[in-house]
């Protein structure tokens, strides 16, 4: 949803543009091109590898890239002496390269260690969660973060079979619980749950939304693209709260979703939902 994002954020107007999930720089390079030297692009990501790729793609003119989490965003802006931004983007989740590098353990096919850290320097790994959390905690995570209906059974099996070494081994174990196979891999929900726990994704999102919307200039816009219902729910409630307090106006009554052609080209985009907010003048 590159076009929709650019239409809503209008980087061609210049000013300060914050890409809170700069990743490989796909959205950022487009924004930078449209800014045509008229403003500043600040890109953050918690993954050093992504930042390196973004640096190569974006160069250094009119660009500042920083390693940070959403919850550190306010500090990054303070450090740069920036009070307000004109546009902010959150394109949530993991990037294709993060998913595809099997050693990072995000993929069901990965024979490498269970990892799933977006920041490879962070302490907690998926192996720590799977092999050391109590059965009760595992069940809660699977239920709350994966909306997994077999959370109890899967948690029990994990505890019985551990230590579990690889993502592939875990995916096999979870698949065994499902009798019928649907359209998505049976371990999708369990993997989502672990990823959220390992990276504190929901708490990070809440902190990031509060920080970014608090820093929007009058008329500044915030665009969030989410990929699963838990994230989208947080964004929806946050936007409604901001509108109810008279701080902002919701620009997307219903979330925008990708068209058929985009989903055909990039199947990972099929669950994307885009919501946008404009700061009151």
Ligand X SMILES: C[S@@+](CC[C@H](N)C(=O)[O-])C[C@H]1O[C@@H](n2cnc3c(N)ncnc32)[C@H](O)[C@@H]1O
Contact footprint for ligand X (CB under 6 A): 21, 23-27, 44-47, 50, 69-70, 91, 93-95, 118, 204
Shortest-Cβ-distance residue relative to ligand X: 26
What is the nearest approach in angstroms of ligand X to the Cβ of residue 163? Answer: 27
Judged by beta carbon, residue 72 or residue 139, the one nearer ligand X is: 72
CB 113 within 8 Å of CB 168:
no
In the bound state with ligand X, the residue whose beta carbon lies nearer, of 59 and 176, is: 59
Q: How far is the CB of 76 from ligand X (least distance, A)?
A: 10
CA triplet 98, 69, 256: central angle to 5 degrees? 70
* Shortest Å, Cβ 171 to ligand X: 21
What's the min distance (Å) between Cβ of 25 and ligand X?
5
Q: In what order do the strands lie in the sheet with 15-19?
A: 63-67, 39-45, 15-19, 85-91, 216-226, 273-279, 248-250
CB nearer ligand X, residue 58 or residue 157:
58
- Residue 174 CA, chain-centre distance (Å), reads 24
Q: Which is nearer to ligand X, 150 or 227 (CB)?
A: 227
User: For residue 19, what are the β-bridge partners?
Assistant: 43, 89
Q: How far apart are CA 90 and CA 109, in angstroms?
A: 28
- Reading the block at residue 104, the tokens are 């990072």
For ligand X, the closer of residues 27 and 275 by Cβ is: 27
Q: Where are the beta strands (DSSP E) in 61-196?
A: 63-67, 85-91
CB-nearer residue toward ligand X: 90 or 150: 90
Helix or strand run (H / E) with residue 250: strand 248-250
Nearest distance from C-beta of residue 202 to ligand X, angstroms? 10
Q: What is the DSSP letter of 67?
A: E
Nearest-approach distance from CB 138 to ligand X, in angstroms: 23
């Amino acid at each position: 949803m590159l076009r929709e994002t650019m239409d809503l954020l209008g980087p061609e107007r210049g000013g300060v543009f914050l890409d809170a999930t700069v990743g490989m720089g796909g959205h950022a390079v487009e924004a930078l091109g449209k800014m045509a030297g008229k403003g500043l692009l600040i890109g953050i990501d918690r993954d050093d590898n992504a930042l390196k790729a973004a640096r190569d793609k974006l160069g250094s003119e009119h660009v500042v890239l920083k390693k940070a989490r959403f919850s550190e965003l306010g500090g990054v802006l303070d450090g740069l002496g920036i009070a307000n931004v004109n546009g902010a983007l959150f394109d949530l989740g993991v990037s294709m390269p993060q998913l595809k590098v099997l050693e990072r353990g995000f993929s069901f096919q990965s024979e490498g260690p269970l990892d799933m850290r977006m920041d490879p320097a962070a302490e907690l790994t998926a192996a720590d969660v799977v092999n050391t959390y109590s059965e009760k905690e595992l069940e809660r995570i699977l239920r709350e973060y994966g909306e997994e209906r077999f959370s109890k059974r899967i948690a029990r099996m994990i505890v019985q079979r551990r230590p579990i070494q690889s993502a592939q081994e875990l995916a096999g174990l979870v698949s065994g619980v499902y009798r019928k196979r649907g359209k998505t891999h049976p371990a999708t929900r369990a993997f989502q749950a672990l990823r959220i726990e390992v990276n504190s994704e929901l708490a990070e999102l809440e902190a990031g939304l509060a920080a970014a919307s608090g820093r929007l200039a009058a008329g500044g816009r915030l665009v969030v693209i989410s990929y699963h219902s838990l994230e989208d729910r947080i964004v929806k409630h946050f936007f409604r709260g901001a509108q109810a307090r008279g701080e902002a106006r919701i620009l997307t009554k219903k979330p925008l979703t990708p068209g058929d052609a985009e989903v055909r080209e990039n199947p990972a985009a099929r669950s994307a939902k885009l919501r946008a907010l404009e700061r009151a003048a």
